[in-house]
Amino acid sequence: MYEFVSGPLVWISFIVFIGGSLYRLCSMHKLAKKEKVIYPYMSLKYGLRSIIHWVIPFASTNMRRRPLMTVTTFAFHICLVLTPIFLLSHNILWYQSWKISWWTLPEGTADIMTVIVILAAFFFLARRLVLPEVRFVTFASDYALLIIALAPFLTGFLAYHQWLPYKTILILHILSGELMLIVIPFTRLSHMLYFVFTRAYMGSEFGAVRNSKDW
Amino acid sequence: MAEPAKEIVVDPGLDETIKKLTPKKIEDTINKVLTKGAAARLKVYMQTCVHCGLCSEACHFYLSHDKDPRFSPVGKVKQTLWEIVKRKGRVDGEFIKNCSRIAHTECNVCRRCSMYCPFGIDMAYLLLLVRRICALLGVVPQYLQDTVNSHAVTMNQMWVKQDEWIDTLQWQEEDAQDEVKNARIPLDKEGAEIMYSVIGPEPKFLAQLLGNISIIMTVAGMDWTMPSFDGWDNSNMPMYSGDFETMARVERKHFEAAFKLKVKKIVMGECGHAFRGAVYDGPKWLAWKEPPVPLIHAVQFYYELIRDGKIKIARKFEQPVTIQEPCNIIRGRGLGDMLRYIMRATCEDFRDVSPRYEHNYCCCAGGGVINCGPPWKKNRVEGNRVKAEQLKATGAEVVITPCHNCHSGIEDIVNYYKLGMHVKFFSEILVDVMEIPEELKV
């Protein structure tokens, strides 16, 4: 079992993740060309202006209005992306397989970052359950996606501290990580791919056409 | 959550039209719009929205209804487009009627929410898509549809006939001559510098505004003209009902009038949606990146006249004034600073609003909502309590609204919430305070 999930399934999930993402971006490009008004309005300057404003914490009005959400969402996304890439034990795996390695996070830091992802996920869950305007637009799939994003971190945390049967948790950890990679291109987790494009388009319209700010 | 019962609004434009729909017609129309009309944006927006609800507080309907989630931007999209996509167009007439209510009467497509969405999703675009579906199915609030029909038949919004149009201009020209010597409204002057265009309601029931522009143009010594023929009306209700074919005819006619008169630029009267149609939605549908004739809004025109000293201010307006910033020229064109410049130049006691500029609240009348007529009026004024509170907080006695939709919407709010304010167009202030040179004095 371990051999399978840490061998062929890793290959499959990376191929699906990368291939699926490329496919989604290509089909978006094709559709955008069909819609004729998209590309002519795109502006590098205003697109970047908008993206930069929205990747800096508290740079937009709405972020300032909701400080707790802003801090949580930035912490969540930063830790979610960086932890798996710079984790020491993941790096060792890369080295064992392909003889490549890069800078790694100190183990204590990585542990804290994992806890941040877990806590933030519970914050998002609470938001969905408590805030009427969020609950009104919540589907079952929103909970599923949250669990999919949370699972690799929760299992990773348990595996690192070896609190439950290590082997089982490790397999679950790898499986959940693979599941997340596989579903990214095909679910709303694809906001990871689309973020820069939707932002750039709105930024271009606001900047170049409407001569105003979109933050 | 228990949903309070909504007051039932009777509108034959919705109640009667849905009786003619068949499931097949609904499904075919929806699929045509979703696959042929919309493409990348719809798909990407649907895939990107993480249902976070962060857009909610952008919406004046949501805020005015004590944060009822049914009125949040994403809530409106959920009740309409998400369902339509999920059910692949297999929805019934009642559902389409609800869609029209939400998209035509509970959203002003003011686009404030797209500044609150972390992804920059254009929810106004999504609700316009819903309107498009409703319009193709013939389900549009009756009063709104009547203005669309008027556009389609007469090329103006108010069934104004050519003789009435010319007659009104001449009557207003005469009136202006009581104020300023030699005041004119030159008709069909080929090669003039400026073509001035207005919206249908001006000749219909706000004719004094045409007299005002005659006074202003004469004093400023402008070389200007107005067309005596179709194309004089720059308003565009089909843009908001979802009848984009008629929208395009109207926009084309407006620009063709300018070509025919060989003018250097178009100056548009104090109206926001008309400006949006001419500068943005119209050209986009007609596959022009920019308007084919340079075109400026009245606020920018007045700003230039005052800045360049073509109009001098004799005395400033004394009552405390505040402004209503029309979405389509502030969020839609960035004229916020020019508006404040002309306000400070003409008014003694200008009280700014909060929130302001791009973040100002919508008037709740624009986007075709006021054109849905009396049946929906209560819904509209109750949907903008926040605006009333915002205006009240300024302590001003006069609200300047350089937009017709804003003007009527704010008037309704002023009456309903008993704010005790007067609503004026900027041109009314300007003719009041400007200096009339000796040689033009009557």
Quote the ipTM score.
0.94
pLDDT over 80 (residue A203): yes
Report the side by side order of strands in the sheet with B224-225: B224-225, B194-197, B265-268, B295-297
CB B123 within 8 A of CB B74: yes
Of the residues B79, B116, B279, the best mutation for testing chain A's interface (the one with the most A CB atoms within 10 Å of its CB) is B116
Q: Check B43 against A32: CB less than 8 A apart.
A: no
User: Band of the pLDDT at B88, cuts 50, 70, 90?
Assistant: very high
User: What is the distance between the alpha carbons of residues B151 and B177, in angstroms, rounded to a whole number?
Assistant: 32
Residue B331 touches partner A, C-beta closer than 8 Å = yes
Least confident of A19-23, A97-101, B2-6, B313-317: B2-6
Flag if B39 and A32 touch (Cβ within 8 Å): yes
* DSSP, residue by residue, B307-341: HTTSS-BSS-B-S-EEE---TTTTTTT--HHHHHH
Distance, in Å, from the CA atom of A9 to the CA atom of B114, rounded to the nearest integer, reads: 40
Using the Cβ of B359 and the Cβ atoms of chain A, whether some distance falls under 8 Å is answered with yes
Report the residue from A37, A188, A201 with minimal CB separation from B50. Answer: A188
- B359/A194 touch (CB, cutoff 8 Å), yes or no: no
Q: Is the pLDDT of residue B96 over 80?
A: yes
Q: Which of residues 69-98 of B touch A (CB under 8 A)?
A: 69-70, 72, 74-75, 78
Q: Does B74 sit within 8 Å of A137, measured CB to CB?
A: yes
Contact partners, residue A160, CB within 8 Å, separation at least 6? A89, A111, A114
**Closest Cα of chain A to B306: distance in Å?**
22
Q: Over the stretch A107-144, which tens digit does the pLDDT of each residue have?
A: 999 999 999 999 999 999 999 999 999 999 999 999 99
Mind telling me how many Å the CA of A118 is from chain B's nearest CA?
18
State how beta strands B224-225 and B194-197 pair. Answer: parallel
Average pLDDT, chain A: 95
Q: Which amino acid is at B102?
A: I
> Mutating which of A31, A46, A198 best tests the B interface, going by the most B Cβ atoms within 10 A?
A198
Rounded mean pLDDT of chain B? Answer: 95
**Predicted TM-score of the model (pTM):** 0.95
Dist. CA A139–CA A135, nearest whole Å: 8
Alpha helices by DSSP H, listed for B59-117, are: 60-64, 73-77, 83-86, 93-100
Beta bridge partners of B295: B266
> What pLDDT sits at residue A169?
96
Inter-chain touch B116–A191, beta carbons under 8 Å: no
Which positions 179-238 of B are in contact with A (Cβ < 8 Å)? Answer: none
CA distance B299 to chain A (A): 15
For residue B380 the two structure tokens come to: 């509209």
Q: What strand order describes the sheet that includes B398-400?
A: B321-323, B398-400, B422-424
Indicate if the pLDDT at residue B47 is higher than 90. yes
Reply yes or no on whether the pLDDT at B2 is more than 50: no
Say if residue B4's pLDDT is above 60: no
Q: Nearest-CA residue of chain B relative to A187?
A: B47
B72–A137 C-beta distance less than 8 A: yes
Nearest CA in chain B to A42: B289
Q: Do A62 and B54 count as a contact with CB atoms less than 8 A apart?
A: yes
Query: Do the chains contact at A137 and B75, CB–CB below 8 Å?
Result: yes
Which chain B residues are Cβ-neighbours of A201 within 8 angstroms? 41, 120
Express each pLDDT in B30-39 by its tens digit.
Answer: 999 998 877 7
**How does pLDDT run across B196-248, given as a tens digit for each residue?**
999 999 999 999 999 999 999 999 999 999 999 999 999 999 999 999 999 99
In the structure, what pLDDT confidence band is assigned to residue A37 with cuts at 50, 70 and 90? confident
A156 to chain B nearest CA, in Å? 25
> What average pLDDT does the segment A31-60 reach?
93
Q: Does pLDDT of B5 surpass 60?
A: no
What proportion of chain B, given as a percentage, has pLDDT over 70? 99
- What does the pLDDT look like over B100-121, one tens digit per residue? 999 999 999 999 999 999 999 9
pLDDT value, residue A35: 84
B287 contacts in A (CB within 8 Å)? Answer: 36
Per-residue tokens: B125: 């675009």
Decide if B34 contacts B42 (C-beta within 8 A).
Answer: yes
CB-closest option in A31, A131, A210 to B333: A210
Residue B324 and residue B388 in contact, taking contact as beta carbons nearer than 8 Å: no
Query: Residues of A with CB below 8 A from B45's CB?
Result: 198
Three-state secondary-structure class, residue B104: helix
Taking the CA of residue A142 and the nearest CA in chain B, the distance in Å comes to: 8
Distances from the Cα of A185 to the Cαs of A79, A142, A182, B85, B97, in angstroms? Answer: 20, 15, 7, 19, 35
- Asked whether the beta carbons of residue B40 and residue A202 sit closer than 8 angstroms, the reply is no
pLDDT given at position B3: 53
Residue B1 pLDDT > 70, yes or no? no
Are B48 and A38 in contact (CB < 8 Å)?
no
Confidence band (pLDDT; 50, 70, 90) for A3?
Answer: confident
All residues of chain A having their beta carbon less than 8 Å from the beta carbon of residue B53 are 127, 131, 133-134, 136-137
- Chain B residues closer than 8 Å to A190 by CB: 47-48
**Hey, are the CB atoms on B115 and A62 less than 8 Å from each other?**
yes
CA nearest to B111 within chain A: A214
In angstroms, the CA B108 to CA B380 distance is 10
Q: Do A61 and B115 touch (CB under 8 A)?
A: yes
Contacts with A, B 228-287, CB within 8 Å: 280, 284, 287
pLDDT above 90: percentage of residues in chain A? 90
Specify the pLDDT at position B313. Answer: 97
Cβ-Cβ contacts under 8 Å, A69 against chain B: 54
pLDDT above 60 for A19:
yes
Phi, psi at B406, each rounded to 5° = -55, -45
- pLDDT at position B6, please? 62
Q: At what angle do helices B23-32 and B123-136 cross, to 10 degrees?
A: 140
